[in-house]
Amino acid sequence: MPSVRLEYDIFPEAAALEPSLQELIREAQYAAEHLAYAPYSGFQVGAAVLLANGQIIRGSNQENASFPAGTCAERVALHTAAVLHPGVTVTAIAITYTKKQIDPSMMHEVLSPCGICRQVINEVSQRQQAAIHILMCSADGTILSVKDAKELLPFSFGSKML
């Protein structure tokens, strides 16, 4: 039977990663802690995008009293990068979160991007014709790394259908 394989790495802490990716994670943490606007869920998400020109662009979730109007951190970061650095390749994205109380059993769970954000990551990756390395972080510092984020959305819908 045909099947889909996903290859990933797990790092116990950011120190195991190369310095540029460590910095990327720090920026995502800053965004979660200081830039998120999450008064409704209390779930503060931070993202940071690394560009081929070395720039790092932060994003955070931006909620709204009309709940569906809110936006995830990943999309804020990716779309901000698209307007501030048009045409520059996104090489990596780090995502992390913080909230007031984290159940000890959840400390190890990484923040995995929602379906809409996976669709957006796919579009950016397809548009630039280059893979985006994704680093998903947990509250205890564990990092799940996937070298090509579009693998998180197999059988995806894309522009070739239109």
**Host H or E run for residue 44:** strand 44-51
Task: Check 18, 63, 74, 151 and give the catalytic one.
Answer: 74
Residues 93 and 49: their CA atoms lie apart, in Å, by 4
Residues whose CB falls within 8 Å of the CB of residue 49, separated by 6 or more in sequence, listed in order: 56, 57, 58, 59, 77, 78, 80, 81, 90, 92, 93
Q: How far is the CB of 19 from ligand THU (least distance, A)?
A: 25
Q: Which of residues 9-38 bind ligand THU (CB under 6 A)?
A: 38
Residues belonging to the chain: 162
Chosen residue from 35, 63, 110, 152 binding ligand THU by CB under 6 A: 63
Over the window 116 to 145, marking each residue x when it contacts ligand THU by CB under 6 A and - when it does not, the resulting string is -x----------------------------
Chosen residue from 114, 130, 147, 156 binding ligand THU by CB under 6 A: 114
Contact 135, 141 (CB under 8 A): no
Chosen residue from 45, 93, 110, 137 binding ligand THU by CB under 6 A: 45
**Host H or E run for residue 158:** none
**CA angle (126, 91, 147) in 5-degree steps:** 80
Tell me: does residue 64 bind ligand THU (CB under 6 A).
Answer: no
Number of helices (H) and strands (E) in the chain: give both, helices first.
3, 6
Count of residues in contact with ligand THU, rule CB under 6 A: 13
Q: Is 23 a catalytic residue?
A: no
Residues marked active site are found at 74
- Using CB under 6 A, list all residues that contact ligand THU: 38, 41, 43, 45, 61, 63, 70, 72-74, 113-114, 117
